Chain A
Amino acid sequence: MNSNGMSVEPFNRLVKLAARAFYDDISTKGENQPKTGRSDNRGIAVVILDALTRRQWVREEDLAKDLKLHSKQLRRTLRFFEEEKLVTRDHRKETAKGAKIYSAAVAATADGQHGREGEEKIKLHTHSYCCLDYAQPNKAQHPDSNPSYKHNHAAVNPTPKATTTLSTTTTRNPSNTAAPPRKRQTPSHPDSDPDEQPMKASRELHEALRPKTESTQEKNQWETSKLQTSPPPPTGNDLAVKQNRLHSRVKPAVDRGEIYDVVRYRLHRMRKKLKDELENKNTVQEYICPNCTKRYTALDALRLVSTEDEYFHCESCNGELVAESDKLAAQEMGDGDDNARRRRREKLKDMLQKLEEQLKPLMDQLSRVKDLPVPEFGNLHAWELRAAVRTGNGDFNANDASRSAQGFGGTPMPCVGETKVEVAFPGVDERGEDTKSENSNSAMKVLPPWMIKQGMNLTKEQRGEDEYVKAYYAAILQMQQKEAAKREHELSNTDISNGVYAKSDRQVGSKSKRDDNEGDEDIEWEEAAPTGNAGESYKVNDLNVEADASGDEDEDDIDWEEG
């Protein structure tokens, strides 16, 4: 158990460090919301990330409640982190029953949470979830080598930050008065981090760098258009609208392996930016209009050049443009042209050095984490299944072994009983369970599982080639007949076969109404099975029906649920 905790702890620390270094100043606001001092929620991002390090998958509503945040605000921040690739979210439709069970699970997990804070907890939530994205094994291990990832990342940066003008590396430019006075909400996480303070300067640097990356990105778009990433995956919210009685839930989770890459990439970009600027290598000069803060790059030069004087002029307000890199490092020296560049170099060197030393803890943590197995929670479904299995068995040790092998850190569920039902809920299984429970009394095993699978194939192929399918089913029927005959001979046990027929009768009875719609298909089966006895042909029909029904599952679920 301890070893599990150990394996996650470095990652958690990494997350916390990164949160303080980079996300301390992220404020997530709706575009239409006025930026008043009251709605200033900078620092919340850190709190949320910290909270996520103490959880695995967690329902968003609960997280909001725990943090006493408005769920909208939380969601906005989480979406931001999702775009930053720090957090995985999962959206799922759930039934009212699922919610009930979920709340039971919450009650269960809540206890454990108070007991050991700072350690990973298993949560059996089934609603909107989030989880730190520690591991996404499919993704490229080296983000630098994955340009699409890179661009996506760069594009993520919020544009309003474009106004960041730094007078020095450590103090904010007073001209930035439009923004509210910097009122950082100190993160209310229990374990305040000693590394927080020294990071601020570098974070600001990072921030100052941010808009640059972005606009360069834009300008170079045509070059990299083939590398552009697809838009972020659609959220499940649209689904929710369609399903009237099912709620779509989102579940964020912190993604730690991913985080490792994200942080490394971020550092790399920061360093590269400074070094490039230091060497003046291949950097596209940027210009900014001091009046309207509109930004241009050297690629716009042709449009900006004016006939009257030798400066560039803003397209919209005709203000004189200022080279942006001068802003970054050499503002206080004025626009002195001769020595400015030389002094800028020194400044940049200084900055780079500062960056190195201030982000040292973060880099140390990165190297510490490098060789550790990445804790992976898997996707929500898998995670839930595991959790449910753990609690269901009540055999902690066995499951812990498997868990630790996969690098999970976590404590066992304190509450065992309630969550047992959980496994059945995700989508398809549910229906299966219901049908099973109908005839759980009878000898269920007579219908072999491979038949069900074939039944699924059946419908698929039916759509395609009829001839083939006919032959196929004729063959199946023959086989079944043989089998049945054999069974009758060998066992001569009428009870079992009765059981079979009775069961299949019942199943057919429950679904034959829908079956009526597809009369022709039924006829075909009958043709294909001229000698089949009643029970056998029912079976085949039954297969057919079951597969067909799978499309309508959701509605069925609801009916059964409510009834």
Chain B
Amino acid sequence: MFFHMVLERNMQLHPRHFGRDLREKLVAKLMKDVEGTCSGRHGFVVGITGIESVGKGLIRDGTGFVTFPVKYQCVVFRPFKGEILEAVVTMVNKMGFFAEAGPVQIFVSNHLIPDDMEFQSGDMPNYTTSDRSVKIEKESEVRLKIIGTRVDATEIFCIGTIKDDFLGVLGGDQ
């Protein structure tokens, strides 16, 4: 699920950036630092949409670096249990398959793949129905439901299922 929220971060800026475009430098550095990161609390920071405020800088003793408290608006993505996501399959193996929905990795184990789909090993390992009408392989797009998430401080990993109504490969046969 996506959220638009205000976060705060203390940015350290090198003295060489001090000048007319200090603020621009600050924002550029913030984007570079924050976008694409993942915090267990908020999820993945997808993008910064605006700067709320830049506080007073504090010169660090000894280094000359200045710390600015910056409040910024951003879009975060946080997967939840029970959420339905569309994802791209990245790897298929005997144990199930891995998929990615944006930054988040999802594993679907083979017992959460419908019973009529069977694993076919080979050059392109895949899960296929007996009538070969549906095939899950690398680069397939699937709709899945998240049934569990594992959230670490800097990482979110999910497990999903496609064994439910309206879940599975998108776009029918390929």
A residues sitting closer than 8 Å to B (CB atoms) are 219-220, 222-223, 280-285, 287, 297-302, 305, 310-312, 323, 325, 337-338, 341-342
Contact = CB atoms under 8 A, between A and B. Distances in A.
A223 B115 CA distance: 29
Given A223-B81, A285-B112, A311-B93, A301 B148 contact: no
A298 B93 contact: no
Contacts of A298: 96, 107, 109, 148, 159
Contacts of B151: 222
Given A285-B111, A310-B121, A323-B111, A299 B93 contact: no
29 contacts: A219-B148, A223-B81, A223-B149, A280-B115, A281-B163, A282-B147, A284-B147, A284-B159, A285-B111, A285-B159, A297-B148, A298-B107, A298-B109, A298-B148, A299-B107, A299-B148, A299-B159, A300-B150, A301-B107, A310-B121, A311-B93, A312-B95, A323-B95, A323-B110, A325-B111, A337-B118, A337-B119, A338-B118, A342-B115
Nearest to B155: A302
A258 to B, nearest CB: 30
Contact of A310 (B81, B94, B105, B150): B94
A283 B159 contact: no
Interface string B111-154: 11001001101000100000000000000000000011111000
Contact of A301 (B119, B149, B159, B163): B159
Interface in B8-48: 40
B157 interface: yes
B98 interface: yes
Nearest to A287: B95
B93 A284 contact: no
A341 B110 CA distance: 10
B54 interface: no
A219 B148 CA distance: 9
Q: Chain B at the A interface: mostly helix, strand, loop or mixed?
A: strand
B170 interface: no
A222 B121 CA distance: 36
B3 to A, nearest CB: 18
Interface in B149-174: 149-151, 157, 159, 161, 163
B91 interface: yes
Contacts of A342: 115
Nearest to B148: A284
A304 B93 CA distance: 12
Task: Indicate the member of A220, A300, A301, A337 with the most B CB atoms within 10 Å.
Answer: A301
B136 to A, nearest CB: 14
Contacts of A310: 93-95, 121, 125
Most chain B C-beta atoms within 10 Å of own C-beta, residue among A285, A300, A342: A285
A222 to B, nearest CB: 5
A138 to B, nearest CB: 31
Top 4 A-B pairs, shortest CB-CB distance: A310-B93, A285-B109, A301-B107, A299-B150
Given A220-B148, A310-B94, A311-B93, A302 B115 contact: no
Contacts of B147: 282, 284
Contact of B111 (A223, A312, A341): A341
A310 B97 CA distance: 10
A238 B112 CA distance: 50
Contacts of B107: 298-299, 301-302
A283 B148 CA distance: 9
Nearest to B121: A310
A321 to B, nearest CB: 8
Contacts of B118: 337-338
A299 B157 contact: yes
B118 to A, nearest CB: 6
A213 to B, nearest CB: 14
A282 B163 CA distance: 9
Given A301-B98, A312-B95, 16 more contacts: A219-B148, A219-B150, A220-B148, A280-B111, A284-B159, A297-B148, A298-B109, A298-B159, A301-B95, A301-B96, A302-B98, A305-B93, A310-B95, A310-B121, A311-B93, A325-B111
B98 to A, nearest CB: 7
Contacts of B119: 337
Contacts of A281: 163
Contacts of B163: 280-281
A341 B115 contact: yes
A223 B82 CA distance: 13
A403 to B, nearest CB: 49
A298 B159 CA distance: 7
Most buried by B among A283, A325, A342: A283
Nearest to A304: B95
A311 B157 contact: no
Nearest to B157: A302
B131 to A, nearest CB: 15
Interface in B68-115: 81, 91, 93-96, 98, 105, 107, 109-112, 115
Contacts of B40: 222
Given A310-B121, A338-B118, A342-B115, A305 B98 contact: yes
Contacts of A222: 40, 150-151
Nearest to A216: B148
A337 B118 CA distance: 8
Given A298-B159, A310-B95, A311-B95, A280 B148 contact: no
Contacts of A341: 111, 115
